[in-house]
Structure formats: C-alpha cells, structure tokens
Structure 1
Amino acid sequence: MENNTLEDYKIAVKAKYEIEKRGTHSSVLISPSRARLRSLCLEIFKSNQNQNDLNVFSSFFRFDFSPSCSGKLKAQTDKFRPIETFLKGDTNLVDVEAINLAAILVDFQPRPFLKFSKSDWNKDAAKMKEFPGLHKKNEEIHTLKHTEQSHKNTFLEKISKKMVLIVLIVLSFALTSYFVFQKKQCMQWSDDHYELVDCELSTNDLVNFNTIKPLDKNLIDLKKINVCDTTVFFKNGEAIIWYTKTENGIEFFNTHGRHPENDNALKPVTHYILNKYVK
C-alpha cells in the first residue's frame, strides 16, 4: 500500500477545517487569530489525555502540557501565526509538528502525520464521505494547475521580438553589473569610511595611498564619526561608540574593529574617556 503524503495530510486537515469552522468552535475557527487559536489549544488540551497529542504539544512548544501552563503558552502566541495563515489559505505549512497541531485544533483523524501516512484513509470511501470538502479541494487544485498551465502557454505564445530584446537588454545590464561588482571585491579607507575599489588598482592610480584590502563585510560599514556632548554613547549600559588614540589625538568610530590606518584595536568608549576628551 502506498503511503499517504504530507500534501495529502495538509489537504485533509484543511478540508476538516472547512467543516469545523461551522461547528462547535466556529467562534474561533470562522476567523482564526493567533490569540484565539492559543485559547482554543489550551481548552482542548485541558481535557485531552491522548498521548500522541501530548507528544505533539511537547515537540511543538518545547515544554510539556499542564493545566497551569497558560502563562507559558501565552508567551508562545506567535508560534500560532503560521497555523493561522495556513488555515486562512494565505501560506503553506512545511513543519510537520505545526500541521499536527493544526490537525488537533480542527479535530482531524487519523493523526498525527505518521499515523495518517500509514492509514488507508484516502482509499476508504466511507471515511471520504465524512470530508466532502476534500473532493472539492482536489478539484480546485486540479483546476488551478490547469489554469496556470494555460496562462503560461498563452504568455509564451505572446512573447514578441520586442520583449525578447528587452530581456536581452536587462540580462546584459545584469551581467555587466555582476562583473563590475566582481572586480570591486576590495576596499580602501577614504577619509572617514571604506569604499569598494577594484582589486587591480595600483597605488599609482590613486590619490589616496591607503592600503587596498580584500573586502571584509565585517569592516565595510566602519565609519569615523564626530562626537559631542549630545551624542548617544551607551545603550542599555553597553557602549555603542568605539575609540582609539592616534598621533592627531583621539578618534571615534561607529563600531568595533581596528583603526583603518594604524591598525590599532578600537576600544568601547568609557565614561573616563568622555569626561577627559568630550565633556
């Protein structure tokens, strides 16, 4: 017997949702939100002793269910976002445990996916009758695929020489930009910041005689800054401005690293430095 796939499972869960949003929990499922799904989840598990379901809960939320875990569950509200958008049809779900939890919320059986995959659910006519929405969903998917293919064929047929020319121009521009960027895989300090430069440039080609270095993405955003007594130097007690001493005095920078000209290590600013050199 061929196993049911994860896509079969998602289609079946969505079909059950279409039924349940007019059922007992319609007030939640007719317009699901993260907070409403969280509350429904708590309500279901308070009376749920199914070990498979409890395992799904533990695996998804990374803690075991208990009647007193509402506070911990509230902190996990955002984890219901992908389930919310999945049920609404806005996004797809790829996480098996998230789909398993969605199956619990709409009371789909058989669950979890491992049990569903080995069942004869999609081959049992009696069970299929319980989910008429599944047939409609499959028809919608087939129609959608057929429509998409028809649109694709129509689009390809309508491509003119003018469109081909536009595509070639765009590709030419993209390739040119790519090769230009590939050549600019080096950087050089210019006054108060790093600039991308051609690695093949020699010092004879430049007015700026600072050393050309291989591109370092951790340093490319380094900038020397001017500070005053109104500059914000700390955030949450941590320094966000860095400094070092040079022959010309003290210089400040927007992040950590090494001084681009003398290679001295930059240090986080301190109140002592501010009192002595700024205030």
Structure 2
Amino acid sequence: MATLYVDYQQLVMQAYEQKKGNNMLPHGLMHLTPANLKDECVKKCTMDVNRRDEKIIRDFCGDLNESKSCQVILQRCETDKFRPLVNYLKGKSENTDAKNIELLAWLLDFPDRPWVMGKVISGMDQPAETPIIPEIPTIPEIPDSQNSPESSSIPVRMNTFKEGENTGKPTAIAPAGKITRKSTKSLVAAIMLSLVAGTGGMWWWMQPPATGDCMYWHEDRYEPVACNQRIPNAVIVPRDTLRLKYFRKITRPDTITYRAIGKVWYSKIKGEIEFFTLPGEHPVVFGYQLRPLTIYMIKTRILQKN
C-alpha cells in the first residue's frame, strides 16, 4: 500500500526525535535558530549532493536556476525562510509546509526522501506492536510397538533386589517386549494429552475474550457482540480483529511522551481532545478521521497541563 504524505511526515519526525534523544543531531538542529539552520544547510551542501536533494534545496529556497550551485543558492537564501521549520520543531506551530519537511529529511539523511505519490515505504503496512505468536512444535510420530518385532525393542534394566542389598550377582532383566509396549502407550497418551492441552491453550490465547461477529464501542475499547444483539446507546459495527485487540482510548494522557510520535493519534471535537492507539475513524463520531500526534500537540495539550 502506498505511503500517504501524513505518514511520511510522521516517519521523518520520528527520525528527528530519535536522533534528538540520542544526542545525534547536527549543530544546526541541536541549537535551533534560523541562522544556525541555514549554516547547517550550507555546511552539508559542501558534500556530495545528488539530484533529488538538489531539487529539495531549490524548492525550499525558491531558486530553480540550475546554473547556480546548491551552496550558492543556500548562501543567498533569506534566513527568514528557515523560521517556519524552526517554529515547527520547537512546537510553536501545529503544521508546516512540505518543503520544510523535505529539508529536514535531507538534513537527517532520511533514507526514503523525498515523498512521492504512490511510493511505498517499507514497514508502513505492518501494524504496530503486533505480538509474535510462537509456533507449536511438531511432535514426531512414534510407531506402534504392536506392529514392531519384540526383538527390536530396547531392553529396560530393572532392579530385582531390595535397597541396601548387594548380592554381587548380575541384575536380572525383565522381558523387554511387555515393558516397551506399556511404556510406549503411556508415552503416546501423555504426548497426545499435552498436545491437545497446548493447542487448546494456544487457540484460547489467540481468540478475543468473547464471541460475536460484530463489535461495539464501550468506554475505552471495542467489545465483541453478536450482530443481532441490541445494546442501548451503542452502534453495532462489523468485527475488525485488529481494532478489537489493539484499538484503545488513552485514559491517561499525562503518560504520553515524545516517543509516542507515530504511535498515537488524536481527535479534537467541540474542544475536547481524545487520544487513541491506532489511526482510522473515530469510534463514536463516524466520518471523523483521527489525526497523528504532533510535537505541537504534546507541548501545548499534554506537557503544559502537567
């Protein structure tokens, strides 16, 4: 599935936050001012710049004259043009132009730059934090001892003397065939019982906590329900296994940090803000699409309240 621009923007911001948290940002991004950001671009332009990055720089500065080098274009670029990106990274604005995001992607060496309509960025089709379900090991089939000659059975050594008694004689060996048949049957029964119990437990673990081909929103999550069942003040919708298991309303917004960028979405309806763990449609206000969490939202709606 093609990556939407809004998802691309979130990936770039994730890369920025990750490098910021690891103290790996270049000087111009670590100490954000329009002048520092411009100097960082000029410095980076002294290295090899490919055609796609040239376009990013020319689009940002608004100078498409290919007779000028990128370094000259950046040096002559007005310093104030870097201010919107600085304000966005500082959380002073909720959004910014695509040309600013592309310039940031270039400064970060974001590998999938620039965004192109229809382009697929690897990892976008995988649901976040989906648990890995272990495979059940295959139990090798044990042949029935009744169909095997008794001579092929492995003799089992049995003690025929009492504890503490030392006769000095060789220990007698019981008939191997009978013991092998009995032991094999017990072993097969134990394995079958364990396999049935393990498979049943794994099946139960993988299933939602209740049955029903539909679901409805209840406070902070979806609950499974039969499609013909009626629940007061609830809308019954077709069952979506992913949303049933992982879609939650975050009831403690004060626990949200910058690491939630790209992993949390929000709604702002009639002045009320809610946070959720998956993108898509609002569970109650149908037709309203959740928005990806931004640095601006964290600074103005979460950190300021704390």
TM-score range normalised by the length of the shorter chain? 0.3 to 0.5
Q: TM-score, normalised on structure 1?
A: 0.42
Greater fraction helix: 1
- Whose RCO is larger (CA < 8 A, sep 6+)? 2
Rg comparison, structure with higher value? 2
